[in-house]
């Protein structure tokens, strides 16, 4: 089940990249490096896809108490996919963006897993709060990287 969670994270990462490229092409958005709105849309796509995969994994899992571990593996798979497909193309010399990218995806995935572990993940209010929190955290991290590194 844990290996499946890791590969679901990879699938979510690939799906996010495809969706981001499609949204950018269809709506003719500027690159995320030049537009805060585009960056916000991309962060929302990533967080919604991660939430959806973790929720799907939670529904299929017989051991619901292990959802935090599964969520971390989904986040790790997502982060490694994003790292290899998007971030290495920028060829940044600093290690903080790489460690930060992995950390932000693990953090947001673990928050989702914790919400499901506490049985909050099925209430609409908590879903909205959870997604807003994760989008704000992820968006803040991306702003930090864009403007300071």
Query: Please, what is the average pLDDT of the chain?
Result: 87
pLDDT, position 88? 60
pLDDT, position 133? 95
Model confidence pLDDT, tens digit, residues 87-124: 666 665 556 677 888 999 999 999 999 988 888 766 77
pLDDT, position 64? 75
For 6, 10, 74, 98, 134, the CA distances from 81, given in Å and listed in that order, are 11, 6, 11, 12, 19
Q: What is the mean pLDDT of residues 128-135?
A: 93
Domain count of the fold of the chain: 1
Which of 148, 2, 136 lies closest to 77, judged by CA? 2
pLDDT, position 140? 95
Q: Which domain, by its residues, includes 109?
A: 2-148
Q: What is the mean pLDDT of residues 18-29?
A: 92
Gap between the Cα atoms of 55 and 122, Å rounded: 9
**Better-scored residue on pLDDT, 90 or 52:** 52
Confidence check: pLDDT of 26 > 70:
yes
Gap between the Cα atoms of 24 and 46, Å rounded: 14
pTM of the model: 0.89
């Amino acid at each position: 089940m844990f290996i499946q969670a890791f590969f679901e994270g990879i699938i979510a990462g690939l799906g996010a990249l495809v969706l981001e490229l499609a949204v950018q092409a269809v709506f003719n958005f500027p690159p995320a490096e030049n537009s805060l709105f585009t960056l916000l849309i991309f962060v929302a796509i990533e967080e919604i896809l991660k939430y959806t995969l973790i929720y799907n994994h939670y529904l299929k899992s017989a051991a619901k108490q292990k959802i935090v571990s599964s969520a971390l593996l989904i986040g790790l798979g997502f982060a490694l996919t994003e790292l290899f497909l998007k971030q290495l193309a920028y060829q940044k010399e600093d290690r903080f963006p790489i460690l930060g990218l992995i950390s932000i995806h693990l953090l947001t995935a673990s928050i989702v897993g914790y919400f499901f572990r506490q049985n909050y993940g099925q209430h609409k209010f908590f879903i909205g709060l959870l997604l807003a929190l994760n989008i704000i955290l992820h968006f803040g991290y991306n702003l930090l990287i864009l403007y300071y590194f």
